[in-house]
Amino acid sequence: MKKTAEKKKDSNHAVRKKLIIAIGAACVLSAAIAFAFLSAGPVANYGDTVSIYYTGTFDNGTEFGAKTNGTPLQITLGSTKVIPGLEQALMGVSAGQEKTVNIPVLMAYGPYNPALVMTINRTGVFANTSFEVGGYYAFRRPNDTEDQIMKIINVTPETVTWDENNPLAGENLTFSIKVVGVTKGVITPGPSAVTPDFSET
């Protein structure tokens, strides 16, 4: 009878020991998760400004733009100043995070539109303007708040032909992104529109 009681006591002790170890392991895991969460810093959401370094490439691997050092590119989510695919990719990121995202045409600059290739008479403001084929010309129309950037296709003494499509229109884009920081802010969510100039290096 005494041996049975001792065996039962030893069994209870073993169970308690295993329970203590399990609780200790759970506490350590919880602490590690909490530490990782706190170390990650704020998570980007609408209204926040995300600072990034990036490299952008086409499907064939050709680089179209990059910002890998110096002052990072700053994007305020929901400000309508970034293409939808890039804004979507930055939602939920935190400082130090790195990711590569593939953005399809419809989430980037949209399809190429041939109707945006126009031939204009060189009169009025364009009469004495110097145009270079292959170059770009910035023009602000009346009642417009931003310059329209047009690629010069052809030039004659009487006309100039330009392309108003964004240079990245019709292209799938890939961004390799490193998040430098996230600054919390407040802004009302709105539709995404035009992205910043990605030609800077």
pLDDT at 25: 52
Backbone dihedral region for residue 171 (phi beyond 0: left; psi -120 to 50: alpha; all else: beta): beta
Low-confidence residues in the chain, pLDDT < 70: 1-40, 144-145, 186-201
pLDDT at 116: 95
**Over the stretch 163-175, which tens digit does the pLDDT of each residue have?**
999 999 999 999 9
pLDDT at 1: 52
**pTM value surpassing 0.75:** no
Choose among 128, 115, 117, 129: nearest CA to 154. 117
pLDDT at 117: 96
**For residues 135 and 128, is the Cβ–Cβ distance under 8 A?**
no
pLDDT at 192: 45
Amino acid identity at 66: A
Query: Quick one: DSSP state of residue 152?
Result: E
